[in-house]
A = this chain, B = another copy of it.
Amino acid sequence: MATTKVTAGVDLGGTKIQTVVLRDEEMVGSARVPTPQTGDPSDVIDAIVGTIRTSLKAGALADADLGRIGIGTPGEIDARAGAVLLAANVPGFTDRVELGPRVSAAFDGVRVTVDNDVSVGVLGEHRRGAGRPFRNLLGVWVGTGVGGGLVIDGELHDGRGTAGEIGHMVAKPGGRRCSCGRRGCVEAYAGRASMERRARRLAERGHRTSLFRIMRSRGRERLTSGVYATALEGGDRMTQNLIEDATWALGIGLASAQNLLDLEAIIVGGGLGDRLGQPFVDRVVAQMRPHLFVSANPPAVVRTELGDLGGAVGAAVLVGG
């Protein structure tokens, strides 16, 4: 009796590991765990393997049912080898980690494909989410940084391996310092890390804000998307200004991308994008519109549909799931 093999998709992040198992495009199991913070890559790999097993069990499946595994990871990747060269956000991934081969070994040699986390997230939305109606789109993931992924003629387009860096398009020559060391990148205004640097500097200079009080009350050490959302709901002026700057820079970058590519759609996702939702997307659109060359035919600008499952679903789609 022939049985259809299932596909596992893993979204490896700095704070969580999300895994789904798909059969015939349908999710039959999923699991999520915090990313181990011990600094030992083996712990991360064990956790990935664990989430795959848990997801299989949730679907009443066993290791033998698993056909292929896709993994989306941040950092620099040697896709051919399935290795991660450096992923600063993942504890212990400071040197080359043979991620694919090691996960494969845990499942009796099942084939594992490793790709960029943002790319697979955009792929997930394109094939199973908000991007289904479109063949040419840009996904912009607004989180700690600002990542992006391009779909051209229905396929992920990564150029020579690094296309999609809308976060490092120039929003303002000579403008704010970016995490990448340059000035004026979109990410210097719209990335959560850059926004936090600016908020801390303003607070040190005596500007009032509820951001850090909200952060502490939640036992956080960082300004998370939820902290920004709560501060915004409370009418915090500094947060309003930070979001205004972020949407301004995104508007410029996205308009330039649109004028260059004449896209059908732009999907706004990522931690901050998903959390701030439609009002955030509306402001990005309002900032983008004045810079559109063909103003009569703007792209659809939509939110993600899969939310924080998008990366894992996309990783499964990557390997045929």
Contact = CB atoms under 8 A, between A and B. Distances in A.
A163 B297 contact: no
A86 interface: no
A49 interface: no
Nearest to A180: B293
Interface in A294-315: 294, 297
A150 to B, nearest CB: 7
Report copies per complex. 2
B160 A291 contact: no
18 contacts: A152-B153, A153-B157, A159-B261, A159-B262, A159-B263, A160-B264, A160-B297, A163-B260, A163-B262, A165-B260, A165-B262, A166-B259, A168-B259, A170-B256, A170-B291, A172-B172, A185-B293, A257-B260
A255 interface: yes
Nearest to A291: B170
Given A172-B172, A173-B248, 9 more contacts: A152-B157, A157-B261, A161-B262, A162-B262, A162-B297, A168-B293, A172-B173, A256-B256, A260-B260
A185 B256 CA distance: 9
Contacts of A252: 170, 173
A260 B152 contact: no
Contacts of A173: 171-172, 248, 252
A290 interface: yes
A164 interface: yes
A182 interface: yes
Contact of A262 (B160, B248, B255, B259): B160
Contacts of A257: 260
**Most chain B CB within a 10 A radius of its CB, from A148, A165, A166:** A165
Contacts of A47: none
Interface size class for chain A? 35 or more
A214 interface: no
**Most chain B CB within a 10 A radius of its CB, from A153, A163, A180:** A163
Contacts of A163: 260-262
A213 to B, nearest CB: 33
Contacts of A253: 256
Contacts of A157: 152-153, 261
A260 B166 contact: yes
A136 interface: yes
A299 B261 CA distance: 18
B260 A293 contact: no
Interface in A262-297: 262-264, 290-291, 293-294, 297
A148 B264 CA distance: 19
Contacts of A259: 165-166, 168-169
B293 A262 contact: no
A293 B161 CA distance: 13
Interface string A137-165: 00000000000101011000111111111
A115 to B, nearest CB: 15
